[in-house]
Amino acid sequence: MIRLVYVSTCAPGLSIDDVYAIMKVSQPWNVQHELSGMLCWSGEFFLQCLEGDRSEVSKIFAKIATDRRHHRVELLIAAPTNVRWFGEWGMGFSQLMASHRLDLPRGRGESFNPYLLEAVDLERTFEQLATFAQRLAID
């Protein structure tokens, strides 16, 4: 099993409805393929964690990397793991709002920029983001 985390910049004009459309497809697909994870969206950036079988994670990341709804896709970590951070979620979702405050080593007091995150800070970051997570009711 591996954990993969990437960051990207949203395409101009990407709306919350567009993000919900992503979730509507990804949640059941992830469950079917035994993947777990969390998608964070700030309106400007995506930060996503995917966990599961190496070949399944690699396959979906290849699709994600070419999706036109974002660009500047940067892999932050892809590493073997024995423990899932999001084992109970096919795909959690967190819409990061201006009112959310994260206690991060870099960028405190500034707007959220996941490109500045260090790999060692990812677990702590996702723990904090998970407090804002929503389990979306996808029709």
Residue 89 lies in a domain: yes
Q: What is the mean pLDDT of residues 73-89?
A: 91
Residue 68 lies in a domain: yes
List of residues 6+ apart from 89 with CB closer than 8 A: 36, 37, 38, 133, 135
Residue 111 lies in a domain: yes
Better-predicted residue by pLDDT, 97 or 21: 21
Nearest to 78 by CA among 95, 58, 106, 92: 58
Token reading at 51: 């966990």
Strands of the sheet with 45-52, listed across from one edge: 70-80, 2-10, 45-52, 36-41, 92-95
CATH number for the domain including 88?
3.30.70.100
Statement: residue 106 has pLDDT above 70: no
* pLDDT, tens only, 25-79: 998 999 999 999 989 888 889 999 999 999 999 999 999 999 999 999 999 999 9
